[in-house]
Structure 1
Amino acid sequence: MPQPTSELAAATTPIPVTSDPASEPVADDRHGDDGDGQGRGRKERRVRRLAGAGLLLLAALPALFGLVALLRDRDAPSPIGDYAVFALVVDAIGRHEVLLGPFSRFGWFHPGPMAAYLMAAPYRLLDGAPEALLVGAIVIGGISCVAAVGLVLRRAGLLAATSAVLVLCLTLRVLGVDFLTEAWNPYLPVLPLLAGVLLCWTAIRGDAWGLPLAVIPMSLALQSHVGFLAPVGGVGAVLALGLVVRAVRHRRGRSGRSATAPDGRPVGRPVRWIVATLAAVALAVLLWLPPIIQQLTRDPGNMTEILEYLRQGSTERSMSFTDALRAIGDEFGRLPAYVVGADVPAREYLPLLVPPAAIAVGLGSFLVALAVGARRRNEDVLWLGGLTVAVAAAGVAAIARLDGPPYSYITRWTVLVGILAWTTVALSLLPEVVAGLRRALGGSQRAARPVAVLATALAAVTTAVVLVTAVDTARAKLPGPDVTVLAQAVVGDLERLGLRTPADAPVVRVDFTTTTRDELMGTYMPGTGVVLQLAREDVDVQVSPFWVLPFGERYTDRAEDAGYIVTVAYSDGTSPPPEPWQRVLGVAGEFQVYGGIPPTG
């Protein structure tokens, strides 16, 4: 039977990441032990490492391009809405107590503040500039992409990792080229969660270090939005099952029946797993310390309120189980639909209604990949497929339980179903394509060139998609009103009135007025941006106690002491006019601000 050439093996050989010579892939030994054969083996390993480094650079390229553009142009709009409230929380890190995550419309807060703590570094380095949160988000997203591709590269080799880069970039294009800069709590943890799932995968497959590292992105996801409980729980269940299987195999090995996994790799020493487990527990306690402190020092604690909400169940369920299945089916078909240019309706509600043919292609390819993996007893494929199924099942459960309108942003993490599914397809079927070429050409030397052509073509397509995505990310312009002008107008009026000196500085209350427009929250969105900018100017700013949930007591408990009141209004006459003691201070686009000293008594 013909033996594979070293060029052929290089395409699917995992990249070693350790300096232990025993872990290096075995070079082609058809040349015996002569110096020429050994030199060729070393050269091939160097080539694989260089190719692997190139793939990691490709994975980072969209984030790098976007980061350079943000730091070069410095023209990002000031945050408004939830982004502005998040910026206020980030600004409070190191100055005030921050124990919880973003607020929820259901009257409690998401579990923890880990995202705010991570964002504090770029926020401080950029002195709270409007692009600070965008920079933090793009750094987190870029690191997550590199980590995800690196894990696939380690376990499955160059071809599979190249496919992973391609799948990631196509998905970013489907989501929108500004997705990497999203600091919003339903979006920010999506790419870190992908890295977390793959860390769990590599832990199941024998890398004990993956266990404590997985705690970091999993904690970020769950602390940022309680909706991530479903995928984190599903992946955690598969991880626990995988570790139990490893423990059983180790016990069998000690009894003399089997000391290796079905793929021939050793099951592993228990000591390092004990150390890894203890490290994971210690890291989890450290990362969850703020919400633990809040739970123990408040009555009722935030965790208690979340658990009570989950126990009561949805009161306004809007999605049936069938609708939820269709919504997850859409994730299998998103990439095929995008690649062929199929018309997918622009919808903000689930399901997205991807064409059924695209769903059939995606789901069918995934099932074939699992079947081939089972036939080949390829546990890398089977466990990654199992994690994909777990995330998909979690998506069905989460979507079927949605409380209120089924906005697609709430479960944006379900996009991971498609990424994981197509990565599983690459892991399972690309080696079959390589083997099929070798068999069809009837000889290893004849097969080497077609396989090289396949690898080169895949690399070329991937590079092209990455470059286009990177350029589009750098060119992305973020929409939003320039509320900085409004805040500066307020500061200017305070200076005119002599109210900026510490001895005379009043409490400044910002009111969000109503409008005859079809706007549920009036001028809340631009108003939050004005509050943020005034706080950055060291103005003692407050808002109405009605907004205590998003802003917290620090920005609402002295609202009645206001010595100067700002009103954010629409400039087209759809908002109430200024009070007699107020005047229009500034206009920016469709918004304006009134300001003045209210009468006493």
Structure 2
Amino acid sequence: MTESGSGSPQVVSARGRDQRHRRSDTLRVWLLWSVLAAPLAVAAVALRQEHWYPLLDQAVTEMRIRDVWSGDPPLLGLYGRLGPPGREASHPGPLSFLALWPLYQLFGATAWAMQAATACLHAAAIAAALWIAHRRGGTTLAIGFAAALAVLARYYGAFTLTDPWNPYMPVLWWFVFLLAIWSVWCGDLPMLPVAALAGSLCAQTHVSYVGLIFGLGGLAMAAAAIAATRGPPGRRRSSLLLRWSVLAVVVGGLAWAPPLLEEATNRPGNLARLQTYFSDPPDAPIGGDAGLDLLLHHLNPWTLASDRLTPSNLVDPGSPLPGVSMLLTWTVAVGLALRRRSEALLRLHIVVATALVLALVSMSRVFGPLWNYLFLWSRGVLALMLVATVWTFGARVGDRVKATTVSRWTTGARVGLAGVGALATVAFVTDAATVESSRPDLSVIMGKLVPATIEALREAPVPESGGDGDYLVIWRDPTHLGTQGWALLNELERHGFHVGAEEQYSATVRRHRVMQPEDATAVIVLGTGVEVDILRNQAGMEEIAFADPRSPAARAEYERLRSLSKSELRAGPEPELADLLDTNPWAVRFHPAASTGVIAAVERMDELGVPTAIFLAPPEALGPS
């Protein structure tokens, strides 16, 4: 007679098989992750070969990361042009700085360390997405989502996934958030804290995610309540919901504690300023019709396969037909899923549908220039839409094959998905091997200016300054709007100098970096373009560093383009733009009266570059404040 107890050979053998199967599945998921994360490692190695000087937002980001373990930890996200000058709001919270800080320190607290930490942040998002997919559908579904992630990562590119700019950092965590919401909708309540963390990271880092996160977060809470009423027999259903909901609230509460503290200690607080700005925008929103066109543009599936992200460009909607086709195909898939009655698949479509509605509302409310970086999240929605559609049609075909061929069909599907992922990953690796940091041309100039400036400060040409002085860093930069000024401030702080910025930049640098002229030992002034000669002729200014990236031929070309553009602008309907060409060329570039020829000239002049110099002077050289 065979034993049937829990210690019987049959039961022990079954347990062993289950454990081996779980270990095998886990290894497959880790293998998928290692393949998808490999291009990020390649990119980090490629970036290590150059000395990068972070500029503008990236420089400010590094200063915020350094603030994390200091007496003035950041309470808000990166500053934004979100309000009237002098009263701008910042992005909601500092979670991205907190997330980057440990790895930034581990990698050496350098500019490259910030890039490497950013790559690791995205690699962690890939791991989280694969983990959730495996929880929902085992190895096959993990392979399917791995293919989607590979295509998505190739589209974003190595530059986007290593550059620590705040619009870039949430892009893959947004995809994790979507998967976590779907998982909660499927009754996986432990994913509530995951959704809270991923959603908080997205919403705090860039304000474009706020409405989407809270809209889908409401869906998650509704799904959790429904799932609790259908909990496993023999357990208190409300207890399960309470446990994971409380943990999600704790995670969310900890994540949002810094911005809420700032809100409670300032009148008005940053969140109030954001609410005022978006409820009464300076320009009219584009509206429903334009919002729908914008959404259809971002639902074009061919862009994921054929294009690469150019986030600094304005959106060029083009034909809506590919987006319409994608939407119709997905609608057919929803109908098939309804007939098939697969709960997991139906709930994935519900998440996609909710995201599409929120996307339409969000895009309809946009105002001002339609920059690509405002809609980076849309590609994550498209990727999830493609997964849901392909899964639905694949399941439909699988339902029709004979039982004896199901295994072969599943294997074929896995191989096909793996092939898609492999092709995308190879393309991503190729891109990663040649990736460059943002604005390498300006970084090279800083590479000439910064060492010379540090050497001059240590030699102390200004009485009583020396390396221990208090330096007010200012810039006169009509060409790049302060881009290199922020880099200089960041680099001098990195090298141990006590530096500060002007009062007008308090929201950007934070109050503890603001320095008044009367409190400074000396003033460091960075000038570009026409400002270099102006500063040279100003009393008290001593030039300590200079760089001009242009060859004699490039200088001649620059002057020719400048002269031709000024002549055309003076003859045009707004002749005052001619003088603006030297003092604010980008205002000319985006002015409606600028011809295509002038626009091309401004862009070419930017490529050629301008002279840049750094001056040291006593505070009184600035004149009355």
TM-score (norm 2): 0.79
Contact 2:196/2:251 (CA < 8 Å) preserved in 1? Answer: yes
Contact 1:336/1:362 (CA < 8 Å) preserved in 2? Answer: no
Distance change (3 Å), C-alpha of 1:306 and 1:448: closer
Contact 1:230/1:397 (CA < 8 Å) preserved in 2? Answer: no
Q: Which residue of 221, 225, 232 maps to 1:244?
A: 225
Instruction: Say whether residues 1:288 and 2:256 are aligned partners.
Output: yes
What is the CA–CA distance in structure 1 between the aligned matches of 2:308 and 2:89, rounded to whole Å?
A: 39
Opposite residue 133 of structure 1, the aligned amino acid is M
Distance change (3 Å), C-alpha of 1:40 and 1:538: closer
Instruction: Say whether residues 1:307 and 2:275 are aligned partners.
Output: yes
Q: Which residue of 101, 115, 121 maps to 2:102?
A: 121
Distance change (3 Å), C-alpha of 1:228 and 1:499: same
Instruction: Say whether residues 1:336 and 2:336 are aligned partners.
Output: no
1:51 matched to which residue of 2?
28
What is the CA–CA distance in structure 1 between the aligned matches of 2:469 and 2:21, rounded to whole Å?
A: 71
Quote how far apart the aligned CAs of 1:532 are: 0.3
Opposite residue 618 of structure 2, the aligned amino acid is P
Local SS of the residue matching 1:178: helix
Quote how far apart the aligned CAs of 1:530 are: 0.5
Q: Which residue of 80, 86, 101 maps to 1:104?
A: 80
After superposition, what is the alpha-carbon deviation per residue over 1:435-457, rounded to whole angstroms, capped at 9, x for unaligned?
A: 33x23xxx50x554454344323
Opposite residue 403 of structure 1, the aligned amino acid is F
What is the CA–CA distance in structure 1 between the aligned matches of 2:408 and 2:388, rounded to whole Å?
A: 26
1:348 matched to which residue of 2?
313
2:616 matched to which residue of 1?
596
2:426 matched to which residue of 1?
467
Quote how far apart the aligned CAs of 1:573 are: 7.2
Contact 1:509/1:566 (CA < 8 Å) preserved in 2? Answer: yes
Distance change (3 Å), C-alpha of 1:431 and 1:58: farther
Instruction: Say whether residues 1:90 and 2:65 are aligned partners.
Output: yes
Distance change (3 Å), C-alpha of 1:561 and 1:67: same
What is the CA–CA distance in structure 1 between the aligned matches of 2:77 and 2:45, rounded to whole Å?
A: 29
What is the CA–CA distance in structure 2 between the aligned matches of 1:117 and 1:36, rounded to whole Å?
A: 47
Distance change (3 Å), C-alpha of 1:490 and 1:329: same
Contact 1:510/1:541 (CA < 8 Å) preserved in 2? Answer: yes
Instruction: Say whether residues 1:490 and 2:453 are aligned partners.
Output: yes
Quote how far apart the aligned CAs of 1:68 are: 4.1
Aligned residues: 541
Distance change (3 Å), C-alpha of 1:36 and 1:129: closer
Quote how far apart the aligned CAs of 1:528 are: 0.5
Q: Which residue of 482, 485, 492 maps to 1:527?
A: 485
1:255 matched to which residue of 2?
none
Structure 1 residue runs of 5 or longer lacking an equivalent are 1-21, 23-32, 251-258, 261-265
Distance change (3 Å), C-alpha of 1:575 and 1:368: farther
What is the CA–CA distance in structure 2 between the aligned matches of 1:149 and 1:429, rounded to whole Å?
A: 21
2:159 matched to which residue of 1?
178
Local SS of the residue matching 2:92: coil
Matches within 5 A, 1:186-585: 186-249=167-230, 269-312=237-280, 314-317=281-284, 319-333=286-300, 335-339=301-305, 341=306, 348-353=313-318, 355-436=319-400, 438-439=401-402, 444=404, 446=405, 448-449=407-408, 451-478=410-437, 479-480=439-440, 481-482=442-443, 483-497=446-460, 505-515=468-478, 519=479, 522-570=480-528, 576-578=534-536, 579-585=538-544
Contact 1:509/1:565 (CA < 8 Å) preserved in 2? Answer: yes
Local SS of the residue matching 2:534: coil
Quote how far apart the aligned CAs of 1:273 are: 1.9
What is the CA–CA distance in structure 1 between the aligned matches of 2:214 and 2:397, rounded to whole Å?
A: 35
Quote how far apart the aligned CAs of 1:209 are: 1.1
Name the Cα RMSD after superposition.
3.2
Local SS of the residue matching 1:288: helix
What is the CA–CA distance in structure 2 between the aligned matches of 1:387 and 1:555, rounded to whole Å?
A: 44
Opposite residue 530 of structure 1, the aligned amino acid is L
What is the CA–CA distance in structure 2 between the aligned matches of 1:458 and 1:109, rounded to whole Å?
A: 41
Quote how far apart the aligned CAs of 1:571 are: 5.5
Distance change (3 Å), C-alpha of 1:572 and 1:127: farther
What is the CA–CA distance in structure 2 between the aligned matches of 1:42 and 1:110, rounded to whole Å?
A: 46
TM-score (norm 1): 0.82
Structure 2 residue runs of 5 or longer lacking an equivalent are 1-5, 550-609
